[in-house]
Structure 1
Amino acid sequence: MPATHSLEPGIRIGLAELIDMRHRVREIQLFARPGQRGPLVGLHHSKLRGRGVDFDQVRVYQAGDDVRNIDWRVTARTQEPHTKLFHEERERPIFILIEQSQRLFFGSGLMFKSVLAAQAAALFGWAALEHNDRIGGLVFGASEPHEIKPRRSKQSLLQLLNRLARINQALHSDSASGTDSLGLALRRAREVLRPGSLAIIICDERALSAQAEQHLSMLSRHCDLLLLPVADPLDHALPAAGLLRFAQGDEQLELDTLDLGLRQAYHQQAEARIERWEVLAQKLRVVLMPLNTQRELIEQLREHLSEQRPGIVR
C-alpha cells in the first residue's frame, strides 16, 4: 500500500469520518423496518429479508421428506436414513462494491468524487447493519480488489471501512486505474454472491463498459441491485474559461473551452452516459440513484427516495 497523505477535508477521508457516518443513518430511512413499508422495501423480497436458506439440523428421515436432502454420510454411519433440514435465512447478505480510483480523485463541488463514494458506502453499510443484514463488500480501482465476506458483524463493516479509508488516503492524481476495474469487480461479485443478496455498486459515472453491463445483467437475475454512479459538474459541462491545459503523468491535453462546438460535444457525451445508466436500470428493473459532488449526500438520497425517477423500484 502506498504511503497515505495527510487528510484534507473533501479531498481525502479517514476511518474516523467513515465511522461517524453511523450517526447520520437516523437522518434517512434507507431500509424498511420489520412490519413497515420503507423507501427501499422493494429491495427486500420477504419479511424474512432474504431468499436463501441456511442449514439447520439433521434428523431421521420421515415420509414426505425430499429425498434430495438425504444426508448420505450420516445415513451410512447410522445405517438409518437421515435428512437435512433448512430454514430461511433471516438476514440478507448486502455486498457493497466501492470504486476508489484515479478517475474519482477529482472534484469541483463540495468534495472529491472518491470522498462522496466513500461516504455513501459507509452510510449504506451502517444502515444495513442496523437493519440486521449481513454486510460485506469489495473496494476496487486503485489496487488489487480487497474483499470482505458478508457477516452480521460490526467488525466486518469496520474491516471494509478501514480498507476503504486506507485506499482513499493513498489516492493521488497519478494513481493507476485498472483496465475496466468495475467489470472485474462485478465478475467477482457474481462468483461470491448468493441468490437473494443485495449488491450496492458505487462507481464513477464513466465506469460503465460493455463488459460491466453484461455482468450487471447476469448479476440481476438472482440478486437485487442498487446503482449509484458518481459524477462531478465538470464531468457534464465545460466552462467557457479559455485555454485549459490538463496533465496526467507524461500526457498533456490542451482544450479551447471558448469553442462552442467543443463544449456542446462534451455535454452530449455526458448526456449519453446518463442515458446509458437510465436505460440499463429500466431494462434490468433495478434501483438507480446518481450522485454528484455539488450537493450533500443525505440531501441527494432524500430526493431520490421521495421522487419517482426512471429505473427506481418503488
Structure 2
Amino acid sequence: MNDALQASGVALEPDHLIALRPLALLAATEPALSPLPGGWATRRKGRGQEIADLRDYQPGDDMRHIDPSATARSGRLHVRQFQEERDRVALLVADFRHPMLWGISRAFLSVVAAEALVLIGWRIAEDGGRVGLLALTDAEAVAVAPRPRARGMLGVIGGLCRAHAGAVRRRIQVAQANATHQPLPGLDQSLARIERICPPGADVFLASSFDSPGQDLAHQLGDLARRRALRLMEIEESLNLPTGRYPIQTDNGHWAQVQVRSSHHMKRDFAAANALSDLRGHSSITLRASAAPSDLAYDIATGWTMTQQPSSAAGRRHG
C-alpha cells in the first residue's frame, strides 16, 4: 500500500511543484484569449492615478508626491502612495477534504488542484507579488502567510505537501479503522477562515471540486467577493466509468449502490449534487483532472475572460 500512496498522481511531491515554474512562465508569454496578457491584471509598482494611502517619507521618494495636508498635521513628511504601487497579495486556497482525495484519470483531484494553484502562484511571485496558502482538510487547515518571490512559493509548496500528506494519512486511518463516518463541515464553513488571514483587496484563488459545499456556500462566496478579488477553479473528473452499479459512501456514513448508465448522466447528476450554481456570478473556470500540467497552465492563462479586473475591483475598496 505504501508504494501505491507514493505513486505519481497520488502523492504530492515538492520537486514536482517546483518544476512547474517554467510552465507557468511559458504560459504567461503566450497569447491569451483576454484583453490583458497573462489572463489577469497585476498591480505593478509605479505612478498611478488613484491615491491608495499615505506613508512616511523615505529617502529617495519623489518630492512631488509629498502630501501637504498630512505633513502639516503630523509635522513629519508624508508622501502619497498610489494604487499601482501596492504589492499584489494572493491567497491560494486548496481543497484537500476527503471528496478531493480520489481520481480515475491522471491524478487525484487534490493533486490537480495543487498543481493549478502553484502555476498561478509562480506567475504572481515572478511579477513581484506576495503569495500565501490556506489548505483545507477534514482536520485542521494549514496556513502559510503571504511572502514574496521564490521564498514565498517554497513556503506555499511546503505547506501544500504537508497538508496533502496529512489528509491522505487521515483518510487511510479512518478507512482501516472502519469507523463510523462523522459528518464533516462543508466547504462553506471551511472558507470562513479566509476572513481572518487574508487582507481586504487581496486576490483569492480557490481550487475545489465543490463537493460537500454546505448550505451557505453562496453566501460565503459572496462575502469574500465583496472585499477581495475571488477566482474559482472547479476541478472536474471526466467520470468515464463503465456502465454498472458502484458502491458509494454518503456524508452520513451510509453505503449505497449507484447505477451508472453513462458518463453524461453522471456529470449531470454531480453538477446538481454539488450545487455548482453557487459559482454563478463569480469569475470561474473548469479544469480537467485528466489534463497534463502543461495543459493546465494554458487553460489557466486563457480561461478567464477578464471582463472585470480583480485587482482593479479590489483596489477601489481601498480608496
Q: Determine helix, strand or coil for the equivalent of 2:139.
A: coil
Whether 1:197 aligns to 2:202 is yes
Change (3 A) 1:161 1:5: farther
Are 1:25 and 1:123, in contact at CA under 8 Å, matched by a contact in 2? Answer: yes
Number of equivalences: 287
Residue 272 of structure 2 aligns with which residue? 272
Normalising by the residue count of structure 1, what TM-score does the alignment of the two structures yield? Answer: 0.73
Question: Could you tell me which amino acid in structure 1 is paired with residue 246 of structure 2?
Answer: L
Are 2:42 and 2:127, in contact at CA under 8 Å, matched by a contact in 1? Answer: no
Following the alignment from structure 2 to structure 1, what is the Cα–Cα distance between the partners of residues 51 and 173?
39
1:59-138 equivalences under 5 Å are: 65=69, 70-71=73-74, 81-82=75-76, 84-88=78-82, 89-138=85-134
Following the alignment from structure 2 to structure 1, what is the Cα–Cα distance between the partners of residues 269 and 307?
23
**Structure 2: which 5+ residue stretches go unaligned?**
59-65, 175-181, 310-319
Following the alignment from structure 2 to structure 1, what is the Cα–Cα distance between the partners of residues 95 and 42?
25
Following the alignment from structure 1 to structure 2, what is the Cα–Cα distance between the partners of residues 225 and 12?
28
Are 1:49 and 1:92, in contact at CA under 8 Å, matched by a contact in 2? Answer: no
Question: Could you tell me which amino acid in structure 2 is paired with residue 272 of structure 1?
Answer: A
Change (3 A) 1:155 1:307: closer
Following the alignment from structure 2 to structure 1, what is the Cα–Cα distance between the partners of residues 3 and 195?
31
Segment drifting more, 106-115 vs 5-14: 5-14
- Greater RCO structure (CA 8 Å; 6+ sep): 2
Residue 228 of structure 1 aligns with which residue? 233
Residue 219 of structure 1 aligns with which residue? 224
Following the alignment from structure 1 to structure 2, what is the Cα–Cα distance between the partners of residues 175 and 298?
34
| Deviations 1:256-286 (CA, angstroms, capped at 9, x unpaired) | 526x5x9887544323257x53x54442xx3
Q: Determine helix, strand or coil for the equivalent of 1:226.
A: strand
Change (3 A) 1:205 1:181: closer
Are 2:43 and 2:88, in contact at CA under 8 Å, matched by a contact in 1? Answer: no
Following the alignment from structure 2 to structure 1, what is the Cα–Cα distance between the partners of residues 147 and 190?
19
Whether 1:239 aligns to 2:238 is no
Are 1:143 and 1:178, in contact at CA under 8 Å, matched by a contact in 2? Answer: no
- What's the RMSD between the two structures over aligned residues? 4.1
1:262-301 equivalences under 5 Å are: 266-272=266-272, 276-277=275-276, 279-283=277-281, 286-301=282-297
Are 2:217 and 2:278, in contact at CA under 8 Å, matched by a contact in 1? Answer: no
Residue 14 of structure 1 aligns with which residue? 13
Are 1:232 and 1:292, in contact at CA under 8 Å, matched by a contact in 2? Answer: yes
Segment drifting more, 130-139 vs 6-15: 6-15
| Deviations 1:93-137 (CA, angstroms, capped at 9, x unpaired) | 011111112211100111111111111121111111111111111
Name the % identity.
16
